[in-house]
Structure 1
Amino acid sequence: MFEEEIRFLRKMNKRQLAQQILNFLMIISSALMVWKGLALYTNSESPIVVVLSGSMEPAFYRGDLLFLGMPDEPVRVGDICVFKIPGRDVPIVHRVIKLHDEKETGKQYILTKGDNNQVDDRGLYNPGQLWIHREHIVGKVRGFLPYIGIITILMNDYPQLKYVLIGFLGLYMLVNRE
C-alpha cells in the first residue's frame, strides 16, 4: 500500500504537487482562522488551554482541555481563572480565593490558589508581588473536556513526536488523491 502511494507521488506533475501543498496550507490557515474567531467570540487571547499540572485536582486533572471566556462581569471569589504572570510564558489555572477592591482607582486585587495546593499563589507571583490584577487574567473557565489535552502535553514532553506528526500529516496531504 505504501509503495503504491510513493509511485503515485512520483507520477505527480508540478501542478498537482502545488495543488496538494496549497490544500495543506489552506487547512493550516483555516485552523488559525477558527482559533482567532474563537478568541474574538470569547473575548480571550487564548480561548482554549490545557491543564499542565495536578494543582487543581479534583476539579481538573493534568491533560484536561479548558474552554475560557472573558465576560465583562467582575472576577468573584470562587471563579476558576487562567492568568499569566508578566515575564512568564506558561499560564496558570487556579481558583480566586480573595479579592480586594480599591475604591479610588477601581482596581481589583486578586489572590489565587490551586485547589490541591496547601498555600496561596504568592510564591508563584513575581518577587514582591502580593496580588494579581484583572489585566493578568486570560479568561475564566467556562467548560472542559477531560484528558483531551494530553496530546499537547506529550508533544511538549517529546518534541520529536511533534515533528513526526507534522511530517505524517504533510505526507498524507501530498498522497491524498481527493
Structure 2
Amino acid sequence: MFEEELKFMRKLSKRQFAQQVLNFLMIVSSALIVWKAMALYTNSESPIVVVLSGSMEPAFYRGDLLFLGMPDEPVKIGDICVFKIPGRDVPIVHRVIKVHDEKETDKQFILTKGDNNQVDDRGLYNPGQLWIHKEHIIGKVKGFLPYIGIITILMNDYPQMKYVLIGVLGLYVLFSRE
C-alpha cells in the first residue's frame, strides 16, 4: 500500500506536488480562521476548552469539551467560569460561589470552587490573593460535549501523538489523489 503511494508521489510533477502542499496549508489556515471567528463571535480569547481534571464532577468530567462565551453582564453566583491566574498557563474551570461588588471602584471580587473540591480556590490563586476579578475570566460555560476533548488530553500526556497525528494528516493530504 505504502509502495503504491510512493510511486504515485514520484509521478507527481512539481506543480501537482505544490498543489498538494497548498491544499494542506488551506486546511490548516481554514482551521485557524474558524478558531478566530469563534473567538470574535463569543467575545472570548478561548472559545473552546477541555476539562483537564475531575474537580467539576458531576457537572463536567475529564475530557469534556466546553463552549465558552463572554457576555457583558456581571459574573453571578452559580456561573461556571474559566479563568486564568497570572503567571500560570493552564486555565481553571470552576463555579462562582461568592461575589463581592465594590461600588466605589466598580470592581467585582469573585471566589470560585470546584464542585468536587472540599474547599474554595484560594489555595489555587497566587500567594496572598483572596479573590479573582473579571479580567481573570476568559469565559463562562455556555455548553459542552462529553468526552470529545479526551484526544487533547491524550496528546498532552503523550506528546509523540501530536507529531504522529500531524504527520498522518499531512501524508493524507499529500497522497490524496483529488
- Superposed pair shares fold, TM > 0.5: yes
Map of 1:110 onto structure 2: 110
Partner of 1:52: 52
State the partner residue of 1:11. 11
> What CA distance in whole angstroms lies between the structure 2 residues aligned with 1:35 and 1:175?
26
1:3 Cα deviation from its structure 2 partner:
1.9
- TM-fit CA distance, 1:2: 2.4
* AA at the equivalent of 1:131: W
Match of 2:71 in 1: 71
CA–CA distance in structure 1, aligned partners of residues 32 and 87 of structure 2 = 25
SS in 2 for 1:132: coil
Write the deviation string for residues 108-151 of structure 1: whole angstroms up to 9, x where unpaired.
Answer: 00000000000000000000000000000000000000000000
Structure 2 distance, partners of 1:83, 1:122, is 13
2:36 corresponds to 1:36? yes
How far does residue 104 in structure 1 lie from its aligned partner after superposition?
A: 0.3
CA shift for structure 1 position 10: 1.1
| TM-score in terms of structure 1 length | 0.99
TM-score, length-scaled by structure 2? 0.99
**For 2:2 and 2:86, how far apart are their aligned partners in 1?**
49
The within-5 A match list for 1:1-178 is: 1-178=1-178
Question: How many residues matched?
Answer: 178
Between the aligned partners of 1:158 and 1:60, the Cα distance in structure 2 is: 23
Whole-angstrom CA distance in 1 between matches of 2:16 and 2:165: 23
Q: Distance in 2 between matches of 1:74 and 1:167?
A: 44
User: Could you say what the CA RMSD is over the residues aligned between the two structures, in angstroms?
Assistant: 0.5
State the Cα distance separating 1:5 from its structure 2 match. 1.1
Gaps of 5+ in 1: none
Higher mean displacement: 6-15 or 75-84: 6-15
Q: 1:112 and 1:41 mapped to 2: Cα distance?
A: 26
Kindly provide the CA deviation profile for residues 34-83 of structure 1, in whole angstroms up to 9, marking residues without a partner as x: 00000000000000000000000000000000000000111000000000
Quick one: distance in 1 between partners of 2:28 and 2:116? 37
Of 113-122 and 2-11, the range deviating more from structure 2: 2-11
Query: What amino acid is the match of 2:12?
Result: M
* Deviation (angstroms), 1:172: 0.6
Residue 133 of structure 1 aligns with an amino acid whose one-letter code is: H
